[in-house]
């Protein structure tokens, strides 16, 4: 692998980096100053040419999303998605706690480009320490004139508020986030209308992820061509990768998107190999909702296109869970199914019922009470029994579909080895006793 200069994590470990003066000493807010010297349309054009794709999971181009805003609008909101609820993702947390002003500068640039007058940083409830870090940095930025009225004498006004959510997975979806922001139950909305037309408080709204916005200062400072020169075509720019599980060095790392899953696990600059000499059994490379890889599929590139070649939903949050050879795949299946059954908001019947039934079946299999037909059922529920991708209001059931389906497809023989012919009445009685 070639050498790589950290960009998004360049300030990690430097003294007093959370403070405004230390951030400005590294060139901080120069991108914002440059952006304010151009028209909003010019800033959007640079971001479009850079092909900055969203880092929150969907990978949709940020500049294109901004251009969906209606030309004639009286107010625009910017919502920053810092909910980061996908297991086991923590790159946004690292950015906020290690370099808060980088995010705030990105918010300012995005706000100016979209002519937003109010920005909300929607932060996951569990981010207690990160909330205080961001609030202190925001207070500094206000005092220095980067937020508020007539920012840097540009005539542009932007107010920024930190809003703390309640810790629901479904609020990572942009319309669920908006509902929660408005003080309502965090249920995703039916689309259309999309947030760009009717979002927060019924007004045009842009929703962007933390890591996406953290790229903006560097794009404005160094240019679209520089950004496009990093990584493979269609997956350009710096990227943060999380890795956890049975590796020697779990953590958050930065590289271009030509890195493979094998690199992320074995290279000493990242995971540093398997812990205690264990072998890889499986990897969930994009968070649990994107699906699973076997040990024979580790050469998958961590970009926006290659995961589809391995039967995955996408790159997701590029956060890998490494599962070792001694892990019982039944426990993995049950834990994944339990998560989705718990986090489904219940609004869509097929998601509410489908995730619940998948958990019940997975739980039965894990307890050694599975029947031969249970594995077939686990394969059919996400593919033929109402939970086919694209049929729910949000993507939660899509994630559950790929997670469960790929585990069953790729580890079917192992799962089948745990089940047998068990009488239904025996299963019912045994589960009643166990519960």
Q: What's the pLDDT at 406? A: 94
pLDDT in tens, 177-222: 999 999 999 999 999 999 999 999 999 999 999 999 999 999 999 9
DSSP string, 291-346: --EEGGGTT-BSSSSGGGGGT-S--TT-EEEEEETTS-HHHHHHHHHHHHHHH--S
- CATH code, domain with 382: 1.20.1440.230
Q: Which domain holds residue 348?
A: 329-434
* Predicted confidence (pLDDT) at residue 430 exceeds the cutoff of 60: no
Q: Is a pLDDT exceeding 60 seen at residue 425?
A: no
pLDDT tens for each residue of 47-82: 999 999 999 888 899 999 999 999 999 999 999 999
pLDDT at residue 331 is higher than 70? yes
- Reported pTM: 0.93
Question: How much of the chain, in percent, has pLDDT values that exceed 70?
Answer: 95
Domain termination site, one of 228, 250, 266? 228
Mean pLDDT is lowest, of 268-272, 291-295, 376-380, 419-423, for: 419-423
pLDDT, one tens digit per residue, over 361-398 is 999 999 989 888 899 888 888 776 556 667 789 989 88
pLDDT per residue as tens digits for the range 87-100: 999 999 999 999 99
Q: Per the structure, how many domains does the chain have?
A: 3
277 token code pair: 């000499």
Residue 359 maps to a domain = yes
Cα 177 from Cα 169, distance rounded (Å): 10
Q: Domain boundary at 306, 324, 342, which?
A: 324
Question: 260-298 b/e with 16+ CB inside 10 Å = b?
Answer: bbbbbbbbeebbbebeeebebbbbbbbbbbbbbbeeebb
Structure tokens at 328: 């019982």
Segment 153-177 shows an average pLDDT of: 95
Q: Is residue 8 part of a domain?
A: no
Residue where one domain finishes, among candidates 302, 324, 346? 324
Residue 220 structure tokens: 């404005």
Closest CA to 220 of 91, 38, 12: 38
Give which of 166, 162, 186, 184 is closest to 174, Cα–Cα.
Answer: 186
């Amino acid at each position: 692998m070639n050498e790589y200069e950290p960009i998004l994590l360049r300030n990690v470990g430097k003294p007093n980096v959370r403070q405004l003066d230390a951030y400005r000493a590294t060139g901080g807010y120069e991108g914002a100053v440059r952006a304010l010297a151009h028209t909003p349309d010019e800033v959007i054009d640079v971001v479009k040419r850079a092909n900055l794709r969203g880092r929150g999971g969907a990978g949709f181009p940020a500049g294109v999303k901004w251009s969906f805003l209606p030309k004639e609008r009286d107010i625009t909101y910017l919502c920053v998605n810092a909910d980061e609820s996908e297991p086991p993702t923590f790159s946004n947390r690292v950015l906020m706690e290690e370099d808060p002003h980088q995010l705030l500068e990105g918010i300012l640039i995005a706000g100016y480009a979209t002519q937003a007058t109010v920005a909300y940083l929607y932060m996951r409830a569990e981010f207690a320490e990160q909330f205080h870090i961001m609030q202190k940095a925001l207070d500094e930025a206000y005092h220095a004139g980067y937020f508020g009225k007539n920012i840097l004498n540009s005539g542009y006004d932007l107010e920024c508020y930190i809003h703390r959510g309640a810790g629901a997975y479904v609020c990572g979806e942009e319309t669920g986030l908006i509902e929660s922001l408005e003080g309502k139950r965090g249920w995703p909305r039916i689309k259309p209308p999309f947030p760009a037309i009717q979002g927060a408080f019924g007004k045009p709204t842009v929703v962007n992820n933390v890591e996406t916005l953290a790229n903006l200062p560097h794009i404005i400072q160094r240019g679209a061509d520089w950004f496009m020169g990093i990584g493979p075509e269609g997956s350009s720019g710096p990227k943060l990768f999380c890795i956890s599980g049975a590796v020697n060095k779990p953590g958050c790392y930065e590289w271009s998107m030509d890195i493979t899953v094998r690199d992320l696990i074995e290279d000493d600059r990242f995971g540093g190999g398997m812990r205690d000499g264990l072998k890889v059994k499986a990897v969930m490379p994009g968070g649990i909702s994107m699906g699973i890889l076997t040990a024979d599929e580790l050469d998958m590139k961590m970009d926006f296109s290659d995961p589809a070649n391995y039967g995955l939903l996408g790159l997701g949050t590029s956060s890998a869970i490494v599962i070792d050879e001694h892990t019982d795949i039944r426990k993995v299946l049950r834990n994944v199914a339990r998560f989705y059954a718990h986090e489904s908001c219940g609004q869509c019947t097929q998601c509410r019922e489908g995730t619940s039934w998948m958990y019940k079946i997975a739980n039965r299999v894990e307890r050694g009470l599975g029947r031969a037909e249970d594995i077939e059922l686990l394969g059919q529920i996400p593919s033929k029994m109402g939970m086919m991708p694209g049929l729910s209001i949000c993507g939660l059931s899509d994630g559950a579909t790929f997670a469960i389906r790929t585990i069953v497809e790729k580890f079917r023989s192992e799962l089948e080895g745990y089940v047998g012919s068990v009488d239904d009445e025996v299963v019912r009685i045994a589960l009643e006793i166990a519960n």
